[in-house]
Amino acid sequence: MAFLVSGTLRMAAQMADAQESLERKGKYNVQGPRVALTLSSPEVSASAVAILEGVFQTLGFESCWRRKASVQDFLEELTGFREQLDAHRAPMGCVLVALVAPSGQLRQPQKLIQELSGCEALRGCPKVFLLLSSAPGAAPKPGAFLTGLGELCGRCPHWSLLQLLTEVFCRTAEESSGTTYCPVLRSSLRGALCLGDVEPWGPEPEPSPSAQYDLSRDRAALFLAVTQDRPGAQHDVEALGSLCQALGFKTTLRTDPTAQGFQEELAQFQECLNRCRSPVSCALVALMAHGDLQGQLLGADGQAVQPEALVQELSHCQALRGCPKIFLLQACRGGHRDAGLGPTALSWFWRWLRAPSVIPSHADVLQIYADAQGSSSRGFTPGSCDQADILVVYAAAEGCVAYRDEKGSDFIQTLVEVLRAAPGGDLLELLTEVNRQVCELDVLGPDCDERRKACLEICSSLRRRLCLQA
């Protein structure tokens, strides 16, 4: 009994220390055990999996487990993996899971990701998922994505994984029929994640100027905001408008658009950019409205429009070819109110350690969609836009409620505060800090007396460092 209590308290202390490091430094402490798991379908060659595991070792994962199973059995395999991690009764430093299957077979990856997110041993730890498409019987030769990832992590160990991925995306993007395709990442990380075998709080090297987007030309922003029956929405519009003005964006505001108005306004915005005499270097679109249970935006007329369709519309803008396109979506993506994940350790010890008892259940996850042998993620993530140079930030995780009150939304208000404090920082890293602050908040919905948690989702196909300093 004393052994079990000692183990439980040691786990509580280690997890509290990791949480304190995240709050103090804004970086994950990944000095604990790192475990990688590869789940591959029978069509994937063993040689390709072996090469993938070599990349894992370069990234610092000591233990690499391998399972071959049909895609239908991936969930069962992940359940067994989770049970083995929980049986150790000790927190991990980081876990990396590679899901490798022929293109189009992983149709519902979120169920797989959610299964591992509930692992107690991984509570508060980063969970990285590589979702790799592979042609059946493909040659056992790593594509540019895996090669670049392994090389850069060994050469730039102080860089965060988001920085590394941005550079890898630049190397692996490909042109096809006038459109640039590249891998896509989806992040709910709350801090910088460095996997290099170095002391985690060391200084990061400054990237070269050529690694950044050139924002020296005009910047344009479009706000489409439904303010009817959305108390606090006007405060979001004013705060975001003031920030964009300080960052040099010429802003257009349209309030209370209908569902069709969302589409028409965005089409008109694109036409104006294409007709503009002076070149544009960046565009920002803020979409603020109610969302339905399917994650669609609701116009002032109560009709729905798919937000991904709006992202797709602007991706075809010729004036923005090769330029960053930023989308901010303040809207519900479903009706789930996340109570978060709490520790199973003795609650009085958590209070004594002053560690937060609840973390959003969707936090600390990084998903990377790419091709194992080739370079593009084309057709691998149904319903998502995989063109390059796009950044989409959702105020809530998929299926969850986005919170707002009379003072505005947690997402927009925190975003404005963070960007005003460090306008010259890397936008992906700043958004990670925004997510950390949002995840720490306890919120009360208008029809719920219990406290709930919120978590952002950041989707990026950026190929360069993006800094908005005017």
Question: Which are the catalytic amino acids?
Answer: 290, 332
237-267 core/surface letters (b: 16 or more CB in 10 A; e: else): bebbbebbeebbbebeebebbbbebbbebbe
Q: At what angle do helices 307-315 and 259-275 cross, to 10 degrees?
A: 10
Length of the chain in terms of residues written: 470
Give strand pairing partners of 330: 288
Amino acid at 53: E
Residues 6 or more apart whose Cβ sits within 8 Å of residue 258: 299, 300, 301, 303
CA nearest neighbour of 51 among 94, 93, 101, 98 = 98
* Rounded Cα–Cα distance for residues 90 and 38 (Å): 22
SS3 readout for 390-423? EEEEECCCCCECCCEECCEEHHHHHHHHHHHHCC
Q: Which two tokens stand for residue 222?
A: 């479009």
How big is the CA angle at 112 (ends 30 and 378), to the nearest 5 degrees? 95
Residue 92 contacts residue 85 (beta carbons within 8 Å): yes
Helix residue ranges per DSSP H, 212-258 = 233-246
H or E element in which residue 28 lies: none
Answer for the pair 183, 168: CB distance below 8 angstroms, yes or no.
yes
Distance separating alpha carbons of residues 364 and 341, to the nearest angstrom = 12
CA atoms within 13 A on the CB side of 433: 19
Rounded Cα–Cα distance for residues 119 and 131 (Å): 20
Return the beta strands (E) in 152-233 as ranges. 174-176, 179-181, 184-187, 218-225
